Amino acid sequence: MARPRFASTDFLAAARALARQHGPAAVTVGSVIGHMGAPAGSFYYRYASRDLLLGELWLEIVLAFQKGFLAAIEAGDGLAAALHTPAWARENLEDARLLLLHRRRDFIHGDWPEALRNGVVRQEETMKTAVTRFAQATLGDAAPDNLNRARFALVEVPLGAVRMYLERREPPPPLADELIRAAYNAVIAP
Amino acid sequence: MARPRFASTDFLAAARALARQHGPAAVTVGSVIGHMGAPAGSFYYRYASRDLLLGELWLEIVLAFQKGFLAAIEAGDGLAAALHTPAWARENLEDARLLLLHRRRDFIHGDWPEALRNGVVRQEETMKTAVTRFAQATLGDAAPDNLNRARFALVEVPLGAVRMYLERREPPPPLADELIRAAYNAVIAP
DNA sequence: TTTATTCTAGAATGCATATTCTAAATCCTG
DNA sequence: CAGGATTTAGAATATGCATTCTAGAATAAA
């Protein structure tokens, strides 16, 4: 084989760097290979498409985020799950900006590549299951209103408390936690 | 003059319809003129660029939304301002989806057309001023933490309570108001 | 050393879009 | 009606991108 100069992970790393700096839309095949001085052929030797690259990037980040969230839910601690967002954002500011300031469809517009579809579906369902479990355990049952209440407390409130800081590239301050805690307690009867 | 078949407002209406159905990215010059059977020349006779069209659309919607919000703030009623989001979303479901499910940069990527720049800047500052006024009146002063607290209660919480419904094209139910009220009261000390 | 395999190289292709250009049609005014 | 202004019309141009293609270079295995 010809001397391998470019590994898959190199392309992924370049994509990540570009996405962090200029957003997912700026991750074009051209910008990626330009960023690392690789020819187009080398890219397509590793990745079947641009979508595959961006999809992998998103999935990797979302799964990393999810881990701590799920752990808290499984421990039955909803407040900890809600507070996981600012905590994770502090430790992973750049990835948090990527994940929380953009939508999934900013990474992949339209259908996901076959190779990733399973992973994405599993990710979605894992999240949905966690929220459902929380609703049942803490709110009594998984009636629609309870699911929405749970989702609000666990997902939307933390996101809202953190987004304004991420936009300024600042780690969420203690106030973010305080706001989340207050809203959580107000919405999830103790 | 040749018989005017296409008014500016026709293009704006077509853009709105397309954006509502498929998102701002689907508003291309081609899709707009295709949607109304107009030639490209007629479009460019009315609009200097696609950005101008999309920018006008966004600005029109955001200003419509803002009106009620500002009225509540000026009346000194923060809770009413927070509840304006679900109320407006109920009355303007499709525009609310457009405004709240997408970001400004999904309409205009990069620099805004000169013709709209003033309007956008004014819009931003009007909003910032309103939040500041609220912070001073209700939280004592406009220290950074107070501004962020105000923004959370007035903007982020309502958005979070409403987004999940908008995504499903459903008007926000009473629960949305209840969640907003609870979070608002918890965060804005009475 | 030969040969098959794995990659690098980067030019060529194709497609979706925005925008421009030129011509002609329609209407208003004198 | 003549002449100028306004609009329609839509083909032509330009650009940015993803992707494909064909050649050739570097390596491992035989």
Amino acid at residue number A134: F
Q: How far is CA A134 from the centre of its chain?
A: 20
CA distance B172 to B88: 10
Looking at the fold, whether A19 and A77 belong to one and the same domain comes out as no
> Nucleotide C5: nearest residue by CA–C1'?
A1
Question: What kind and span of H or E run contains B14?
Answer: helix B8-22
pLDDT tens digits along B7-52: 999 999 999 999 999 999 999 999 999 999 999 999 999 999 999 9
Res. B3 pLDDT band, cuts 50 70 90: confident
Task: Give the pLDDT score at A1.
Answer: 58
Looking at the fold, whether A40 and A110 belong to one and the same domain comes out as no
* A182/B183 CB distance under 8 A: yes
For tokens 């049942």, what's the residue? Answer: A136
Looking at the fold, whether B8 and B69 belong to one and the same domain comes out as no
Looking at the fold, whether B131 and B159 belong to one and the same domain comes out as yes
B164 to chain A: which residues are within 8 Å by CB? 148, 151-152, 156
Q: Is there a domain that residue A22 lies in?
A: yes
What's the Rg (C-alpha) of chain B? 19
Q: Is there a domain that residue A76 lies in?
A: yes
Q: Is there a domain that residue A53 lies in?
A: no
Looking at the fold, whether A133 and A79 belong to one and the same domain comes out as yes
The answer to whether the CB of B43 falls within 8 A of the CB of B32 is yes
Task: Give the pLDDT score at A86.
Answer: 99
Q: Does A115 lie at the interface with B, CB-CB under 8 angstroms?
A: no
Q: Which of residues 38-97 of B touch strand D (CB under 7 A)?
A: 38-42, 44-46
Q: State the CATH number of the domain containing residue A41.
A: 1.10.10
Q: At what angle do helices A174-187 and A157-167 cross, to 10 degrees?
A: 160
CA distance A27 to A24: 5
Looking at the fold, whether A116 and A34 belong to one and the same domain comes out as no
Q: Is the pLDDT of residue B106 over 90?
A: yes
CB-nearest partner of A175 from B145, B157, B173: B145
Measure B5 CA to C12 C1' (Å).
43
Q: Is there a domain that residue B78 lies in?
A: yes
Report the phi/psi class of residue A157: left, alpha or beta, with left for phi > 0 and alpha for psi in -120 to 50: alpha
Q: Does B127 lie at the interface with A, CB-CB under 8 angstroms?
A: no
Q: What is the DSSP letter of B24?
A: G
Looking at the fold, whether B33 and B124 belong to one and the same domain comes out as no
A161 to chain B: which residues are within 8 Å by CB? 152, 156
Structure tokens at A1: 């084989």
CB of A53 lies under 7 Å from some atom of strand D: no
Measure B4 CA to C30 C1' (Å).
23
Looking at the fold, whether A26 and A89 belong to one and the same domain comes out as no
Looking at the fold, whether B104 and B43 belong to one and the same domain comes out as no
Looking at the fold, whether B180 and B113 belong to one and the same domain comes out as yes
CB of B1 lies under 7 Å from some atom of strand D: yes
Q: Is there a domain that residue A55 lies in?
A: no
B163 to chain A: which residues are within 8 Å by CB? 156
Per-residue pLDDT, averaged over A106-111, amounts to 96
Q: Is there a domain that residue B53 lies in?
A: no
Cα distance between the two ends of chain B: 64
Q: Is there a domain that residue B52 lies in?
A: no
Q: Is there a domain that residue A52 lies in?
A: no
Amino acid at residue number A108: I
pLDDT tens digits along B68-97: 999 999 999 999 999 999 999 999 999 999
Q: How far is CA B64 from the centre of its chain?
A: 7
Looking at the fold, whether B43 and B101 belong to one and the same domain comes out as no
Domain of A22 in residue numbering reads as 1-47
Overall domain count for chain B? 2
CA distance A149 to B175: 8
Looking at the fold, whether A122 and A145 belong to one and the same domain comes out as yes
The answer to whether the CB of A20 falls within 8 A of the CB of A97 is yes
Amino acid at residue number A112: W
Task: Give the pLDDT score at B190.
Answer: 67
